[in-house]
């Protein structure tokens, strides 16, 4: 018996977004034993602090535009000319503004972060640059590809990002032993290539045909979402910044490695959430779509709960079997982290 169209769309979207996230993170996770033999817990701790701080900056740089672009592009499906204007206007803003703000933030905040967390100033600056490039790629073109439901292109771009990221990381961190700076350089290089490649794949013909009212409307929708996004950052990432202010970098590094074992939960829960989003967008303009959301929400909950139990049970065994003894304390943290991630994933 054929599945209903909404269910089929959710399944296709879940598989596509899950595959993209898994491709991006699974190889890095599998390479964790190698990285753990090259990077000390202290260096891992510094990486954790920089990525946490830059994630907060990325949330601010995004201005809530990813959701606004996805929603507006979907609602303009019967107005191709307005779609072009919208993409030209919001896309141009998103490609330029984050880089300018990140440059200023790097000049002003990197010395402060260096003093607070004892991480290299250049690493912080590179982290800011990587965050800006990632935001530009996420808002345009990735959000538009999602709105177009071009799942194949989305997966291929994820594959490009993985290959480049792993190649840069193996070169800068494993071979050249550049430590934290090498890790940040890998992020910047991968984000830049993802942005350029994504724009080519998107195939949008950029013109001067713009309507800045589209940007105003997108910001009006997106800016109120920033507190929510910062709250999510606070729930899922801020712990590393807090720990970095009070503990040694090596302790933060052990915690960060334990956190990596919770990634499967976040990958699947985010993929499920992204797959259901088109149904929510359609339900906002069609009351008949509301009834189709209940089965998808049930599947989302059950899948996340089952995965949480698996990670909590098997993660500690993997730490003991695969990582150097300096990371052994991470085993006792994994069940707690998995439980927290599963709770957040079930509610997303």
Cβ within 8 Å of residue 137, ≥6 positions away: 191, 194, 195, 198
Per the model's pLDDT, the better-predicted residue between 35 and 241 turns out to be: 35
pLDDT tens digits, one per residue of 127-168: 999 999 999 999 999 989 888 878 888 888 888 888 899 999
Structure pTM?
0.81
Per the model's pLDDT, the better-predicted residue between 24 and 102 turns out to be: 102
DSSP string computed for 65-101: HHHHHHHHHHHTTT-HHHHHHHHHHHHHHHHHHHHHH
Q: Which of 200, 197, 55 is nearest to 130 (CA)?
A: 55
Report in angstroms the alpha-carbon separations of 325 from 10, 331, 336. Answer: 43, 11, 20
Which has the minimum average pLDDT: 176-180, 230-234, 281-285, 340-344?
281-285
pLDDT tens digits, one per residue of 63-118: 999 989 988 988 888 899 999 999 999 999 999 999 999 999 998 999 999 998 88
176 DSSP assignment: S
pLDDT confidence of residue 128: 96
Asked whether the predicted pLDDT for residue 3 surpasses 50, the reply is no
């Amino acid at each position: 018996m054929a599945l209903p169209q909404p269910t089929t769309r959710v399944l296709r979207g879940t598989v596509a977004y899950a595959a993209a996230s898994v491709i991006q993170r699974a190889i890095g996770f599998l390479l964790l034993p190698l990285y753990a033999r090259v990077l000390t817990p202290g260096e891992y701790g510094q990486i954790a602090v920089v990525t946490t701080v830059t994630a907060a900056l990325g949330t601010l740089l995004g201005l809530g535009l990813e959701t606004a672009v996805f929603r507006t592009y979907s609602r303009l499906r019967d107005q191709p000319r307005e779609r072009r204007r919208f993409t030209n206007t919001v896309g141009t803003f998103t490609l330029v503004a984050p880089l300018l703000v990140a440059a200023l933030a790097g000049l002003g905040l990197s010395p402060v972060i260096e003093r607070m967390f004892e991480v290299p100033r250049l690493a912080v600056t590179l982290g800011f640059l990587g965050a800006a490039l990632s935001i530009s790629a996420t808002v345009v073109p990735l959000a538009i590809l999602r709105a177009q439901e071009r799942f194949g292109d989305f997966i291929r771009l994820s594959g490009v990002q993985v290959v480049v990221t792993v190649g840069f990381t193996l070169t800068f961190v494993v071979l050249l032993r550049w430590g934290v700076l090498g890790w940040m350089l890998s992020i910047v290089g991968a984000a830049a290539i993802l942005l350029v490649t994504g724009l080519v794949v998107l195939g949008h013909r950029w013109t001067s045909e713009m309507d800045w009212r589209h940007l105003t409307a997108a910001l009006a929708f997106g800016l109120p979402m920033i507190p929510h996004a910062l709250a999510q950052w606070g729930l899922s990432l801020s712990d590393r910044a807090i720990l970095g202010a009070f503990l040694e970098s090596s302790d933060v590094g052990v915690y960060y490695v334990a956190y990596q074992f919770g990634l499967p939960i976040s990958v699947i829960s985010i993929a499920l959430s992204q797959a259901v989003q088109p149904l929510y967008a359609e339900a906002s303009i069609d009351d008949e779509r509301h009834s189709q959301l209940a089965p998808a929400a049930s599947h989302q909950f059950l899948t996340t709960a089952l995965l949480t139990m698996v990670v909590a049970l098997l993660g500690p065994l993997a730490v003991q079997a695969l990582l150097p003894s300096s990371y052994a304390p991470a085993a006792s943290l994994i069940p707690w982290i998995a439980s927290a991630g599963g709770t957040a994933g079930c509610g997303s």
